[in-house]
Structure 1
Amino acid sequence: MLDEYAAGDFFLASPNQTMVGKGIFSVIEKAMETENQLFSLPSRVEAALNQAKQAGHPYPVAVGAVPFDYSEDSEIIIPEKVDVSEPLDIDEEQQESLFDMYPYEMQPIPEPEEYMNGVNQGLKKIATGHIDKIVVSRALHFSTVEQVDVNQLLRNLALHNKQGYTFAVDLTDEKPTRKQKESKGKRTLVGASPELLVSKCGHTVFANPLAGSRPRSDDSVEDQRRAKELLDSEKDLYEHAVVVDMVKEALAPFCETMEVPESPSLVKTEAMWHLSTEIRGTLKQLETSSLELAIALHPTPAVCGYPTALAREAIYEIEPFDRGLFTGMVGWCDENGDGEWIVTIRCAEVKERSIRLFAGAGVVAGSKAEEELNETSAKFRTMLQAMGIKD
């Protein structure tokens, strides 16, 4: 399926399956209102899927990405063709270094010292008692001599993210029409997220929030020490509990029953340890779509903070860049409402000779600015490794 992918396609590999969407049957149009683009998104997607079915599409599926900011447009289409197959099986010899082959320049946004100042601003807001948590993010912008090879970047990400969710979404400003097969100035969102926001299959709902993390270590003894430290950390357990409580609260109106473990477990990627809770539920109504559930959850405190509205406003004030699709969600929804939506983290936006990486850290009472900076540095490793750049 990786060999089938070409720039402009939709690609999502999960532990359960691999999906590739090719061509554009229709584009989900922007809503009339300007305040909240997410409010009517499920109904607009449902209408587009019904129209595609009536027009003879054999298997209409809406695929794409939803931004962090509810006032910005989503990037969702119905492809002309969708192929679904087994999970990826990748040969490690297929990895190639991208950035060893040509020069590049890198610019942190903001600079590390300014980022730590932003964390301290967040801590001051928490100290007032109005905000419990805020996620403060930063970016790395790379300019390259040669055009970035998105296909190889995606392959490298998939190789090192076999238990997670590897994705690519076309962000081209002007989508090609059926007559115009090529578009100019291709942009692609690409990443390897460890976190499922929510999935729906029939009456079954599954969510897997992650919050609280530690960087991995190459030393096995030190790596296990960090894992245990995370599992015993009052600060991280509190941060995780805030997210789990919000997920339960958001899903409760849709569910007949819900199973939530009393305490989190540990999951690991090549770069990070995370606290994880697997939440399962049974829907009251079969027609509830995966996208409707995802929007009810978005954004979780894991990527925004809590309370959501106050944390979001603080993010706009502190962060010196537009998150765009970072900390939004990527996924799919079919005509039955089944689908899965992934939290858009460990990701980058690629445009010809530039690539911008994103990473954030959850700030709560007791957080330290230098530790949060180090956490974002560790989270950048997923993309940097795929680019062939060593720490």
Structure 2
Amino acid sequence: MPAKDSFSFTSPLRSLITSGCFCRITTPAQGGADPRSPFSQQLAEAFHSARQAGIAHPLVVGAIPFDTRHPSELFIPQSHQEMTPDQVAGHFKASATGPQPEPVLKVEIPGHDVFTQMVARGASATRQPGIDKVVLSRLIDIRCASAPDSHGVMARLMAQNPGSFNFHVPLSDGGTLLGASPELLVRKTGTLFSSLPLAGTARRNLSDAREDTRAGEALMASAKDRHEHALVVNAMRQQLQPLASCLNVPAAPSLITTPTLWHLASAIDGESTASVLALACLLHPTPALSGFPHQQAMQLIAGLEPFDRGLFGGIVGWCDDQGNGEWAVTIRSARLSGEHIRLFAGAGIVPDSSPESEWRETGAKLGTMLNVLGLN
């Protein structure tokens, strides 16, 4: 049964739970695609020390923040166990303690009017030369009557989102990051890697199958959403080409679903000798989380968003000492700290974005965690 400080990650490739902490890696991941960077050097030294200490096949697990200049939340566990997603869900269900969280206060940051003003300003900026897209986000802060049990929340999250990249990350401050991400940043086994970027979203109509299908078809036909998606895919193609000996990028996106949303997705794959974490650092954050071009989008985000995203919009996953592993984007997620829960959702803003539509889209995305908490 997993300890309270255990990391877990579930996916179709490999699901695992860890135990203990051999050492933490806090160096910022900026420049982590370069083996000479401080981040890569600390990681190599940590893997070496772990092997010297008798950990035969060490992994690094955890989370990297949206802004890679900030400290990482990574560690090498003492041991890990592979299991099926159902087994992971069973472990969390069996180890859950206490009732469902009892919220006593919910605050939106920012509120509706400020957020829609942010979106209007972001859309206006993308109509000017120099920036094509910016991703703007909002938070919900919830205070509960008592500290929520992260294992109970995780058990409900996995029950409601069995097909997602489900993660539970113990943080250095005693808090927990958990979520059910639909978005694979990068996966690597041997020399083969793959990615599934998402950009372009529509709410599903689960009460009417015909209307639900029409919502997906409308998303696929949306010039605004296809443009937003193409910006992401084209940027990722340019970033991956220098490290890929082979790279396959579809000419057009496909549709995928979560329990509540439609998304435009592009299944990218290729071959590379770089580690999965190097590829993750190269790609992160993609224009699906920041915008395009990256630096201009980051400046606009800093000027418009009234908070620091921290780990939200970052990446979460694992990498072994042979460079294999899997990293998902930290969306559809929550951070638990004492009696407090913080939720996050963002939306890509382009010239045709409607402030009210983006408020509704972020609301639909927040619904994943609100459903888990019994608040939607």
1:234 lines up with 2:223 in the alignment = yes
Q: Please identify, of 138-147 and 11-20, the stretch whose mean Cα deviation from structure 2 is larger.
A: 11-20
What is the identity percentage for the equivalent residue pairs of Structure 1 and Structure 2? 39
Q: Which amino acid counterpart does residue 148 of structure 1 have in structure 2?
A: P
Match of 1:217 in 2: 205
Match of 2:280 in 1: 294
Moved over 6 A (4+): 98-101
Q: Tell me the secondary structure at the aligned position of residue 88 of structure 1.
A: helix
Q: Tell me the secondary structure at the aligned position of residue 146 of structure 2.
A: coil
Distance 1:29 1:240, change over 3 A: closer
Match of 1:149 in 2: 149
Match of 2:263 in 1: 274
Match of 1:196 in 2: 184
Assess if the C-alpha contact under 8 Å between 1:18 and 1:88 holds in 2: no
Match of 2:305 in 1: 319
Q: Counterparts of 1:326 and 1:83 in 2: how far apart (Å)?
A: 26
Q: Counterparts of 1:115 and 1:133 in 2: how far apart (Å)?
A: 17
1:12 lines up with 2:9 in the alignment = yes
Match of 1:179 in 2: none
Match of 1:207 in 2: 195
Q: Counterparts of 2:163 and 2:139 in 1: how far apart (Å)?
A: 25
Q: Please identify, of 37-46 and 245-254, the stretch whose mean Cα deviation from structure 2 is larger.
A: 37-46
1:117 lines up with 2:105 in the alignment = no
Distance 1:86 1:99, change over 3 A: closer
Q: Tell me the secondary structure at the aligned position of residue 331 of structure 2.
A: coil
Match of 1:187 in 2: 175
Match of 1:139 in 2: 139
CA-CA distance at 1:47 after TM superposition: 2.1
Q: Counterparts of 1:253 and 1:37 in 2: how far apart (Å)?
A: 15
Q: Counterparts of 1:215 and 1:245 in 2: how far apart (Å)?
A: 25
1:249 lines up with 2:238 in the alignment = yes
Number of aligned positions between the proteins: 367
1:87 lines up with 2:85 in the alignment = yes
Q: Counterparts of 1:77 and 1:380 in 2: how far apart (Å)?
A: 28
1:20-65 per-residue CA deviation (whole Å, 9 max, x = no partner) reads: 111111112436xxx9475532332122112211221122100010
Match of 1:46 in 2: 44
Assess if the C-alpha contact under 8 Å between 1:16 and 1:86 holds in 2: no
CA-CA distance at 1:131 after TM superposition: 0.8
Q: Tell me the secondary structure at the aligned position of residue 85 of structure 2.
A: coil
Q: Please identify, of 40-49 and 125-134, the stretch whose mean Cα deviation from structure 2 is larger.
A: 40-49
Normalised by the length of structure 2, the TM-score is 0.93
Assess if the C-alpha contact under 8 Å between 1:19 and 1:83 holds in 2: yes
Structure 1: unaligned runs, 5 residues or longer:
174-185
Q: Counterparts of 1:101 and 1:20 in 2: how far apart (Å)?
A: 24
Q: Counterparts of 1:163 and 1:231 in 2: how far apart (Å)?
A: 22
Q: Counterparts of 2:278 and 2:109 in 1: how far apart (Å)?
A: 33
Alignment root-mean-square deviation, CA: 2.0
CA-CA distance at 1:222 after TM superposition: 1.5
Distance 1:99 1:267, change over 3 A: farther
1:245-284 per-residue CA deviation (whole Å, 9 max, x = no partner) reads: 111111111111111111111110011100011111011x
Assess if the C-alpha contact under 8 Å between 1:63 and 1:78 holds in 2: yes
1:70 lines up with 2:56 in the alignment = no
Assess if the C-alpha contact under 8 Å between 1:330 and 1:344 holds in 2: yes
Q: Please identify, of 80-89 and 312-321, the stretch whose mean Cα deviation from structure 2 is larger.
A: 80-89
Assess if the C-alpha contact under 8 Å between 1:11 and 1:169 holds in 2: yes
Match of 1:130 in 2: 130
Q: Which amino acid counterpart does residue 16 of structure 1 have in structure 2?
A: L
Q: Counterparts of 2:80 and 2:100 in 1: how far apart (Å)?
A: 34
Match of 1:353 in 2: 339
Assess if the C-alpha contact under 8 Å between 2:255 and 2:262 holds in 1: yes
Match of 1:181 in 2: none
Q: Counterparts of 1:304 and 1:350 in 2: how far apart (Å)?
A: 24
Q: Which amino acid counterpart does residue 238 of structure 1 have in structure 2?
A: H
Structure 2: unaligned runs, 5 residues or longer:
none
Q: Counterparts of 1:111 and 1:103 in 2: how far apart (Å)?
A: 19
Assess if the C-alpha contact under 8 Å between 1:67 and 1:328 holds in 2: yes
Q: Which amino acid counterpart does residue 190 of structure 2 have in structure 1?
A: G
Match of 2:295 in 1: 309
Q: Counterparts of 1:103 and 1:136 in 2: how far apart (Å)?
A: 26
Q: Counterparts of 2:230 and 2:128 in 1: how far apart (Å)?
A: 21
Match of 1:180 in 2: none
Q: Counterparts of 1:58 and 1:296 in 2: how far apart (Å)?
A: 28
Q: Which amino acid counterpart does residue 107 of structure 1 have in structure 2?
A: V
Q: Counterparts of 1:136 and 1:111 in 2: how far apart (Å)?
A: 13
* 20, 26, 29: which one aligns with 1:23: 20
Assess if the C-alpha contact under 8 Å between 1:37 and 1:71 holds in 2: no
CA-CA distance at 1:322 after TM superposition: 0.7
CA-CA distance at 1:212 after TM superposition: 0.3
